[in-house]
């Protein structure tokens, strides 16, 4: 949110309008906070913490489009490529919560191109818990704090501090942000 203060402001305004500041957001508020929910989904799409899924082996010969994949071949989902596919996402390299909003402002899903927790029988068992916790923690931070870049930080983009490479898990170089308590 330090990187995108305009989005942070929209989320904070939506939370203030719907929930106020007298109580914390609850899971029941998710459906009433579409921009906030879309922002958390965009965080999951944009971050691609695990760019490659857990490798599996094919149990039989498989034809996938024009490719034959022999039995016992190691395969994995390239989450990063899926989440940044220009044929699926409008301007995928931009952080846009609108990726998950329809024309009426309601949350829409991208089931075939949004797999932050993988899919199928071996998808993350903690997906529903992780999404719930992400929503509650994220809304608490934005409801209570204004997050901004540290003054004097010479790096133009905090996102430029994400280390890329063959690692299964992406790393982020240390950075500082300012968290100022919101006053109402």
CATH topology of domain 5-181: Cytochrome p450 (1.10.630)
Question: How far is it, in rounded angstroms, from Cα 88 to Cα 54?
Answer: 23
Asked if residue 12 lies in contact with residue 182, where contact means CB atoms within 8 angstroms, the answer is yes
Read off the pLDDT of residues 6-59 as tens digits, 9 standing for 90 and up: 999 999 999 999 999 999 999 999 999 999 999 999 999 988 767 788 888 999
Q: pTM for this structure?
A: 0.86
Question: How far is it, in rounded angstroms, from Cα 91 to Cα 95?
Answer: 9
Name the DSSP letter for residue 62: E
pLDDT for 124 equals 84
């Amino acid at each position: 949110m330090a990187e995108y203060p305009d989005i942070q402001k929209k989320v904070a305004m939506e939370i203030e309008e719907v929930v106020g500041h007298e109580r914390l957001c609850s899971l029941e508020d998710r459906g009433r906070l579409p921009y906030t929910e879309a922002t958390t989904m965009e965080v999951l799409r944009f971050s691609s913490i695990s760019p490659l899924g857990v490798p599996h082996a094919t149990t039989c010969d498989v034809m996938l489009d024009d490719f034959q994949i022999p039995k016992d071949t190691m395969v994995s989902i390239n989450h990063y490529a899926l989440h940044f596919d220009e044929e699926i996402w409008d301007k995928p390299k931009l952080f846009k919560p609108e990726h998950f909003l329809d024309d009426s402002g309601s949350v829409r899903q991208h089931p075939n191109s949004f797999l932050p927790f993988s899919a199928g029988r071996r998808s993350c068992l903690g997906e529903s818990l992780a999404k719930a916790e992400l929503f509650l923690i994220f809304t608490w931070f934005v409801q209570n704090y204004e997050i901004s870049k540290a003054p004097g930080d010479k790096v133009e983009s905090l996102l430029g501090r994400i280390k890329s490479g063959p690692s299964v898990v992406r790393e982020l170089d240390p950075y500082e942000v300012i968290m100022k308590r919101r006053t109402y």
